Amino acid sequence: MNAEMFDGPLVPTVGNQSYEETAQFFEDAGIQFDLRDVYSTANRFNATIYALDPRGLAISEYDVSQRSVNRRTDDRMLRSTRDTLYVLARETDGRTIINTNDIRPGLDRMVQDSSGYYLLGYNSSRSPTDGKYHEIEVRVQRDDVDVRHRRGYWALTERDAERAMTPAVNEPPKAVDTALAALSAPRSGRRLVRTWVGAEKGEAGRTRVTFLWEPEPAAGGRGDEAARVLLTAMSDNGGPSFRGRVPETGERAGRGTGRRAAAEEAGDASVQFEAAPGTLQLSLAIEDAAGDVIERDRRTVEIPDFTGTDLVLSTPSFVRARNEMEWRALVDDPAVVPTAARDFRRTEQILIRFEAYAPGDAEPQVRARLLNRGGEPMHPLEVRPVADGLPYQVHLRPAHLPPGDYVIELSAASPTDEVTQLVAFRLRS
């Protein structure tokens, strides 16, 4: 909002103020209401605002390209923007770093304030629920200290208090939140590759682990490209389960305790090895075409035990088909390599593969459902049963779904047990 938005007859002047000053009065009043919402919310959540004006010793709010702004308006706008920062800091017991080109002392004070402080909590004898502002005063007996504290707090209203005591009914289940969090899990480094680790039943009481990686889409100006990954897998007992490059060919292939299933001639960036159930530490050294290490990463995964008496599901894998021809080629191919990606286009077809292990010769009842990001069922998904060396398969054609995050619920049930696993994916246009 600015003065040019007002119509003269509709905005009366106040005293000797000009039309422009009157318009600015109403604009500033609106800003104060917005600022109150900001610092009230900050105080409710015990947040302190330290305001930094990067303009330093600015003498003007507008640059030379805006010649139509007179000097008085320019000075008033410059003062108003600085006052906004000052109010946010003052009302949340923060500090301002404004009107200076030397920001180091202010940043040092900010670090000092946030590095050591006392957090006092108390229960008010009045327990107000009037929604009003209540001042707080803190006094200490020492005279050689500078006491800084919040000036007060905004009490809850009766409606806020009632809402806080009411259990949330629309929040998604925790398992759904966990599955969705995997889509945006923070990663260190430049993220040159994305990886996937799967587990299924192996031989002699061990678990077959599949590791695969894919290059991340190149960001603008990034010159490093991953050519291979040197993978080291260590079990929790200290023994190595696998060490080698992926992909690798010939005599330099990785040494594992099980079979290697990467299709070397095709150059697939995947490998299979066997590991004992428990914690598995994965160390990744990402190399470029010259063999130089351009990034390192570490991951910890839990390897399930498929030899017990419980009903267990393997790690679901995703296979993507960009068109109908690709789909027909991969749907009956047990050796197709899955993808590490979890974001797909609506025009693609998605195949989810998994195994269900029940004790003895029992055949579990397997079901699948599509859930929205709130954990609410959308519709059931058809599960293709195990046949001809293929695991259970769920075929998803997402063309009818809008872009967004979704969760697939896989469940298996036996006469004595039931297990459910959730896996999330993201759809783009």
pLDDT at 126: 75
**SS3 state of residue 340:** coil
* pLDDT reading at 12 higher than 50: no
Scan for tokens 């000009």, then name that residue: 18
Q: Which CATH number does the domain housing residue 267 bear?
A: 2.60.40.10
Q: What is the pLDDT of residues 224-266, one digit of tens each?
A: 788 999 999 998 877 899 999 998 644 333 444 433 333 333 3
Residues 317-327 pLDDT 10s:
999 999 999 99
Residue 143 lies in a domain: no
Regarding whether 374 and 298 lie in a shared domain, the answer is no
Yes or no: say if 392 and 386 are a contact pair by the CB < 8 Å rule: yes
Highest mean pLDDT among 130-144, 250-264, 389-403: 389-403
Tell me the CA distances in angstroms from 396 to 255, 323, 393, one per residue in order: 37, 13, 10
In percent, how much of the chain has pLDDT > 70?
83
pLDDT by residue (tens digit) across 253-301?
344 443 333 333 334 689 999 999 999 999 999 998 888 899 999 999 9
Chain-centre distance for alpha carbon 127: 37
Within this chain, do residues 367 and 276 fall inside the same structural domain, yes or no?
A: no
Which candidate, 297, 282, 299, 290, places its Cα nearest to that of 224? 290
Q: Alpha-carbon distance 222 to 200, whole Å? A: 36
Which candidate, 353, 354, 345, 339, places its Cα nearest to that of 213? 339
Same domain, 333 and 286: no
Is residue 409 in some structural domain? yes
Residue 396 pLDDT > 50: yes
Question: Is 294 in the same domain as 331?
Answer: no
Answer with the residue of higher pLDDT: 47 or 20.
Answer: 47
The residue that leads in pLDDT, 192 or 348, is 348
Confidence of residue 5 (pLDDT cuts 50, 70, 90): very low
Residues linked to residue 313 through DSSP beta bridges, in sequence order: 356
pTM of the model as a whole: 0.58
What is the rounded distance in angstroms from the CA atom of residue 275 to the CA atom of residue 243? Answer: 12
Indicate whether 56 belongs to any domain: yes
Rounded to whole angstroms, the Cα distance separating 126 from 350 reads 59
Q: Say yes or no to pLDDT of 169 above 70.
A: no
Residue range 73-131, pLDDT digits in tens: 778 888 888 888 888 888 888 889 988 899 999 999 888 888 877 877 777 777 778 87
- Using alpha carbons only, how large is the chain's radius of gyration in Å? 31
C-alpha angle 280/286/289, rounded to 5°? 145
Start-to-end CA distance of the chain, whole Å, equals 35
Average pLDDT over the chain reads 81
Q: Which of 305, 324, 339 is the last residue of a domain?
A: 305
The CA distance from 44 to 47, in Å, is 8
Does the structure show a pLDDT above 60 at 21? Answer: no
**305, 336, 363: which is the final residue of a domain?**
305
Residue 129's contacts (CB-CB under 8 Å, 6 or more residues apart) are 155, 156, 157, 158, 160, 161
Q: Which domain holds residue 39?
A: 3-115
The per-residue pLDDT for 251 is 39
Number of domains in the chain: 3
* Same domain assignment for residues 299 and 192: yes
> Strand 96-97 to strand 51-52: parallel, antiparallel, or no bridges (unpaired)?
parallel
